[in-house]
A = this chain, B = another copy of it.
Amino acid sequence: MAKRLSTNVQDYLKRIYELTLTEEKATTTQLAEALEISAASVTNMLQKLSKTDPPYLTYTKHHGVALTATGKQAALKIIRRHRLIEHYLVKALGYTWDEVHEEAEILEHAMSPLLEKRIDAALGYPKFDPHGDPIPDAQLQMPKIIEIPLTQLEVGHSARILRVPNENPQVLRDIAKWGLRPGAHFKLISRTPYDQTMRINVDDIDEDVIVGAALGCQIFVSLET
């Protein structure tokens, strides 16, 4: 039953999980882009993974794909490892948050259950990774977070940055430079009506930061305070 999944299959499942967080189903093309392979290859794999026993996903020709419970468990296991690794690299080996994603992308597939346990323990069973993304616990339960994108925070209100789920190292370096790390407390000063550009003031930092809508919807903040 619990087959050993190949690295490739794990990557498919992880991507599908991520894509179906916002949409009901993921499309072949989305997956092909995320995995950087051809759409034809994706179709092949989806057909295979939907015909295993038990199937990892539900797939109907031309109508997208979603994970089954089995597939979701497998995806969560990999995501847990990915995020634990990111956290560990920052905490124990002096990595910065822009360096860890690529590294974790490879290490996640080489992590034994024992190593997962030891790292989890060494970190004190953390609930969030360096980007503020939630880490599923050993039973694969995701911590609940109540959050809104920065783009939806009301002008004049204060909040705390919870999550910056971005993978681009350059973007992350900039964000860090401005003080917009998870945990930072700030006040939303203004938002222009036309293009939604925001001016925000981070506590203990003099100069205000200007954030466009494209970046703003990738920064999640606490709902109150």
Contact = CB atoms under 8 A, between A and B. Distances in A.
Interface of A: 89, 92-95, 99, 102-103, 106-107, 109-110, 112, 114-115, 118-119, 122
Contacts of A115: 89, 93, 103, 107
A146 B114 CA distance: 36
B109 A94 contact: no
Given A93-B122, A107-B107, A109-B110, 19 more contacts: A89-B115, A92-B92, A92-B122, A93-B115, A93-B118, A93-B119, A94-B118, A94-B122, A95-B118, A99-B114, A102-B112, A103-B112, A103-B114, A103-B115, A106-B110, A106-B112, A107-B110, A107-B115, A110-B110
Copies of this chain in the oligomer: 2
A103 B103 CA distance: 17
A99 B112 CA distance: 12
Contacts of A99: 114
A136 to B, nearest CB: 21
A127 B118 CA distance: 25
The listed residue with most B CB atoms (<10 A of its CB), out of A89, A94, A106, A110, is A110
Contacts of A94: 118, 122
Contacts of A93: 115, 118-119, 122
